[in-house]
Structure 1
Amino acid sequence: MYKQMKWLCLLMVVMVISFSSVSPLKKDEASNAAGGSQLSSKIAKVLSHPDLKGASIGISVRNASNGKIIYKHNGDTRLRPASSMKLVTGAAALQLLGENYRFKTEIYTDGKQKGSTLKGNIYIRGKGDPTLGEKDLDNIALALKKKGIKKIKGNLVADDTWYDQIRLSLDMPWSDEQEYYGAQISGLTFSPNADYDAGTVIIQVKSGNKVGKAASVTMTPKTDYVKISNKTKVGKVNSKNTVKIHRKHGSNGITVTGNVPLNSGTTKTWISVWEPTRYTLALFKRSLEKQGIKITGNYTAGKISAKPTKLATDHSPKLGTILVPYMKLSNNTISEVLVKEMGRVKGKVGSWDKGLSVVEGQFVDLGIGNDAILMRDGSGLSHVSMISANALTNLLYKAQTKPWYKTYKNALPVAGDSDRSVGGTLRNRMKGTAAQGKIIAKTGTISTVSSLTGYVKGKKGNKYVFSIIINNAKKENQLKKIEDEMAVILASN
C-alpha cells in the first residue's frame, strides 16, 4: 500500500510539472482557442511563410468593443515597432497639447523705428513649428513692410533656444543623417512643401534631351545656403538610372552624380540640410528682400535681448491638421518635434530626455504598461525603442474613449485608397481585397523590421484593433505582403 501511494504521488508530481511547462506559444494557442479557432488557424498558416524563418513576431488582435484579446502570438514580447511608435507619440501629443494646439514663430526687435528705418536688431524666434514654409516667411516680411519698415540698421538674428541644441536623436544611424527622415531638429526650421519634412530641400533631376550632356538639377527652395555640384550625364533611352545624391557630413554641399536616361522625366529627392536654423534664417532674409526691406547688419544665430518688442507672430495649422501628414506619410521630423514640444510645454525643457519623460507619464492613462515599452525617440527610427503588440492594441482600444479619437483615427492611412492624403503609406496596398478601405492603420519600416497597427471592420461586422510586429527578418521584400495577408484575414472575418 505504501509503495502504491508513493508511485501515485510521483505520478501526480510529474503531471503537475508537465502541465505547468506549457511554452509561451502554447499559452497563446490556448487563449486563441477561446477567441476563435478559425482566426488562429488562418494566421498560423501565414506565419509558416519561409521568409519568417528565424524572425521574431508579435501579434495582437482585440475586440474593439470590449478590449478582449481574441488572438495573440508573443503578444507581451517587447519588439522594435518602427513607425508604429508614432501611435504613442501622436496620442500623447493630443492628450497633452490638444487638437487645437498651434506652434508659433515670432518676430521681435530691440530697436526703435524712425520713419521707414528700424534702428536695432530683428529677431526671428522659432517655437518648433515644423510647418513653417515660404508663404509663412513671406507673410511675416509683408507684415513688417506694412509697418512702414524699409530698412533695418542692425542684425538679422535667428533665435532657436525654444529647444536645446541637440539636433539628432540618441540612436540615429550615421547613414540616415542626410536622409529626409533623419533631418536635424531645431526650434527654428523650414519645410519645402506641405509634406512638412522640415529641415530639408527637394532636389529635382530632369534628364533633358541631349545624350552626353549634364542633366538638369534644380532645388526647392532656391537658396545659396545649399550648394549643388552637378556631375550627372544624360544616357541613352532605357539605359540604367544610376543617380546618387550625397550631402557631405558637416556641410551643405550636395553632389549629384550618375547616369540619367534620356527623356526619363523628373525625379524628386528630399535631402536634409546641415543646421536648419541658419537655413531658415537665409530664407527669411530672402523674404525680406522680396518685400524691398534692406538689412545693413549681419545674419547670425543668437538669443533675444532682455526687453524686446514683438512685431509679428505666425501660427501653424492646428495640431489636429498637422497629424494628417504626420501619420499618413509617417513624418519622422514632426514626431521628434512633438517630443521636444511636450518637453518644453509640460516640462519646461525642450529636449528628448524631458519630452520622453513627459510622454512616459501618460503611459498608464493611454493603456500602456511601463514594462511593455522602452521609448528612445518619438518616431520609432531607433533600433533600441521597443513595445509589445498587446500594448499597442490596448492603446488603440483606450483611444476610442478619448475626446480626440476621431482626429486620431482620421490621421491614419487607409488601405488601398489611391488619394495620397487619405491612403498615405497604405495607398498602394491591399487593393482589390476585402481589406481595401477597411484597414485603417499605421505602417512601420526600418531595417529588418516591419509593422502594421490599427483598426479594422470585418466582413461580418466585427470590429478589431490589431498589431503585427515583425523583427529580425533577413528577407524583407515579402514582409508587407505577409502583413497584408493577415489584414485581409481580419477584414474577411
Structure 2
Amino acid sequence: METTFTRRAALGTALAAVGSSALGLAPLNSLRPTARPDPSSERVGGAASVVRAFSLRGQVSCALMDPETGAVLDAYAPEMELPPASVTKALTAAYGLQKLGRDFQFLTSLSLQGRVTNGTLLGDIILTGSADPTLHTDDLVNFAKALQKTGVKAVKGRLLIVDNGFPYLREIDNGQLPQANYNPAIAGVNLNLNRVQFEWARQAGGGYDLTMSAPGRIYRPKIPSIGMRVEERNGPSYGYQHTPEREQWSVQRSALGKDAGRWLPARNPRRYAGEAFQVICAEMGIELPSPTIVQGQHPEAVLAVTIAQKKSPPYHEIAKSMLKLSTNLTAEVIGLTASRAPNLRQSAEALSQFAQAHGMRGAVVDHSGLSDQSRLTAGGLAMFMAWQHRNGLADLLKPKILRHKGKPMAGVDLRVKTGTLNFVSSLSGYLTYQGKSLGFAILTADLAQRGKVKGRENPPGVKGWEARSRSLQYALLREWLGHLR
C-alpha cells in the first residue's frame, strides 16, 4: 500500500511537471496524444484548445487529476492564483469532516436558574447557543412551549443570551453592500441565518406600512431593536446604522414598489434571537425582560436546570446543504467551530494550513469564499480534490447533469461546487464515468473589470461574462470526459 508520504510526493511531483510543461519544457502525460506546446505559450493539452476557442476575457486556470495515481492529465496555467469564490466551501466542508466528524451536532438549550413561585420565576432564563446555523424561529417556539409547561408566566430576573465564547463577526466581508443578506453577522446564537424579514405595504395615502420580523411557520415576531424608515433620496437604495443596542435601516422610496418583502442581514444576532424569543413568549402569555447578552460562559450556568434542547442535524447533512445552497453563514460557523480560533483571520489561517497539507496552494481569508482576497491555484485545488476523494467529500458535493447539445450525457456522474462573484466564476469537484473518477478545478476571473465595478449590484456585463465562463467550464468537462472513456 502506498504511504501518505509517497502519495503526497507523487502528487506534488505531478503538478510540478505540469508547471514545467506549461512553460514548454515537456508535454503533459495525457491519456490522449497532445501536441508539444509552443515555448512562448502557457496553453497545455486538450484544455488549451477549449480555452483558446472561447477567448474569455480575463484569466483562466484549470487542472485535471487522477485521484488514484496522482497524475495530472490536463491543465492550463495551473499555477495562476485567482479568487476561488464559493468553491472555498468545499475546503471548509472537508475541514469540518476531519475536525468535527460526520455525526457532530450543534446544541442550543433553554435553562432556568432560580425558583418558581405562583407563576413567577425568581431568577434567570438562559438561552445558550453553540452557533447552530440551523436555528429557526420555529425552534424558539418550541422553547417557548417548554417554558409554558413549567407554569412560568413572568420573570423577576433576566433573559440571558449566552454565546459560550463563540467569536462575534459583525460581517464576513466589509466590501459588500449593507443590504447583502449573504454577508451576515456570525455569533454564538444565529437565528434564521441572521436575516430579518423586511416587508412593506403601500397605504392609501401613498405611505408605507413597514415591518421587520423573524417569520416562522406560525409566529412572525416583530423585532423592536431593528428599525426601518423610507427616505426621499437619489441613492443609495439602502442605508444602515449600527449600535450594540439598535439597528436602523433606511430605504430609498423609489426602491419600493408594490407590496413585497426581502431579507436583510441582522447584525446584532444574539439580540435579534433574544427579542424574537421574548415576543413569541409574550404571545403565549409569558412576560420576559429584554434580553441581556453574555459573552463567554455564564458563570452560574451549572446551577441552571435545562428544560429544552435543540440538536442540529448531523454535520454531514449540514455540510451537504451548505454546499448545495452555498450558505455563507454555515460555512463560517463550520470553519470557526472546527478551528476553535478566536477570530476569523486565525481561523482562515488554520483552514489554509489544513488545505495546504493536502496539496492546496495559496491561502484563503474566510471559510465561505465571499471575500475576493483569497487566492488559490487550479492545480492545487485539483490536487486537494484528489486527496479528499476517499475522505467522503464527493458524497457531500451537489450532483449536476453534464449535457451535450442539450441532452444529458449517459453514464456520467458529476459532483461539483460552484463559486460566483462579480466577474469571478469557479467550478471544482469530481467527474466520474463507469466507476472511474477524476478530480478537477477550473478558475476564471476578469480581475480588471471586477475592480471597476466593485461595490455595485448586478453591474453591466456581468451576467453575459458569467454565462460565457460557465459554458467554458462545461466545455472543459466534456473535453476531459475523453480521459475516462
Q: Give the TM-score normalised by the residue count of structure 1.
A: 0.76
Moved more, 391-400 or 327-336: 391-400
Distance in 2 (alpha carbons) for counterparts of 1:122 and 1:31: 65
Aligned equivalent of 1:329: 325
Aligned equivalent of 1:255: 251
Distance in 2 (alpha carbons) for counterparts of 1:463 and 1:156: 53
Which residues of structure 2 form unaligned runs of 5+? Answer: 1-18, 36-42, 215-220, 450-460
Q: Does 1:400 align with 2:392?
A: no
Return the offset for 1:23: 7.2
Matched ranges for 1:338-487 at <5 A: 338-344=334-340, 349-363=341-355, 367-369=358-360, 372-402=361-391, 405=392, 408-416=393-401, 432-434=407-409, 438-458=413-433, 463-473=437-447, 474=449, 476=462, 477=465, 478-487=468-477
Larger radius of gyration: 1
Amino acid at match of 1:309: A
Which residues of structure 1 form unaligned runs of 5+? Answer: 1-21, 192-197, 233-241, 418-427
Distance in 1 (alpha carbons) for counterparts of 2:175 and 2:410: 37
CA contact 2:190–2:270 (8 Å) conserved in 1: yes
Alignment equivalent of 2:168, drawn from 165, 168, 174? 165
Aligned equivalent of 2:263: 270
Distance in 2 (alpha carbons) for counterparts of 1:277 and 1:286: 14
Q: Does 1:147 align with 2:150?
A: yes
Amino acid at match of 2:226: V
- Provide Cα deviations, 1:237-291, integer angstroms capped at 9, x if missing partner: xxxxx998524132332426336777xxx86633112211111111111222233
Return the offset for 1:352: 1.8
Distance in 2 (alpha carbons) for counterparts of 1:278 and 1:430: 52
Aligned equivalent of 1:8: none
Q: Give the TM-score normalised by the residue count of structure 2.
A: 0.77
Moved more, 355-364 or 317-326: 355-364
SS of corresponding position for 2:264: strand
SS of corresponding position for 1:139: helix
CA contact 2:171–2:267 (8 Å) conserved in 1: no
Return the offset for 1:453: 0.4
Q: 1:257 to 1:448 in 2, by over 3 A?
A: same
- Provide Cα deviations, 1:101-147, integer angstroms capped at 9, x if missing partner: 11111223442223422101222122111111111111111112222
Return the offset for 1:230: 5.3
Distance in 1 (alpha carbons) for counterparts of 2:53 and 2:354: 37
Distance in 2 (alpha carbons) for counterparts of 1:431 and 1:28: 39
SS of corresponding position for 1:30: coil
Q: Does 1:309 align with 2:304?
A: yes
- Provide Cα deviations, 1:31-62, integer angstroms capped at 9, x if missing partner: 15565539966532331256534x23211111
Return the offset for 1:94: 1.0
Q: 1:131 to 1:252 in 2, by over 3 A?
A: farther
Distance in 2 (alpha carbons) for counterparts of 1:328 and 1:488: 22
Aligned equivalent of 1:179: 180
Q: Does 1:488 align with 2:478?
A: yes
Amino acid at match of 2:394: K
Distance in 1 (alpha carbons) for counterparts of 2:201 and 2:45: 51
Amino acid at match of 1:383: D
Amino acid at match of 1:200: R
Return the offset for 1:462: 5.1
Alignment equivalent of 2:128, drawn from 125, 149, 152? 125
Moved more, 248-257 or 390-399: 248-257
Give % identity.
22
Q: 1:257 to 1:27 in 2, by over 3 A?
A: farther
- Provide Cα deviations, 1:279-317, integer angstroms capped at 9, x if missing partner: 11111112222332222x443222524353132322111
Distance in 1 (alpha carbons) for counterparts of 2:372 and 2:404: 25
CA contact 1:33–1:40 (8 Å) conserved in 2: no
Amino acid at match of 2:442: I
Distance in 2 (alpha carbons) for counterparts of 1:466 and 1:393: 5
CA contact 2:103–2:315 (8 Å) conserved in 1: yes
SS of corresponding position for 1:175: coil
| Count of aligned positions | 427
Amino acid at match of 1:479: S
Aligned equivalent of 1:30: 27
SS of corresponding position for 1:168: coil
Return the offset for 1:489: 2.7
SS of corresponding position for 1:470: strand
Distance in 2 (alpha carbons) for counterparts of 1:220 and 1:480: 37
- Provide Cα deviations, 1:345-396, integer angstroms capped at 9, x if missing partner: xxxx44224433443453366x225xx1212110112222122212222222
Aligned equivalent of 2:195: 200
Return the offset for 1:155: 1.7
Alignment equivalent of 2:49, drawn from 25, 29, 45? 45
Instruction: Give the alignment's Cα RMSD to 1 decimal.
Output: 3.6
- Provide Cα deviations, 1:202-234, integer angstroms capped at 9, x if missing partner: 3456899x9x956886655242333333579xx
Amino acid at match of 1:186: A
CA contact 1:281–1:299 (8 Å) conserved in 2: yes
Return the offset for 1:187: 0.9
- Provide Cα deviations, 1:168-198, integer angstroms capped at 9, x if missing partner: 34xx23334431111011111201xxxxxx1
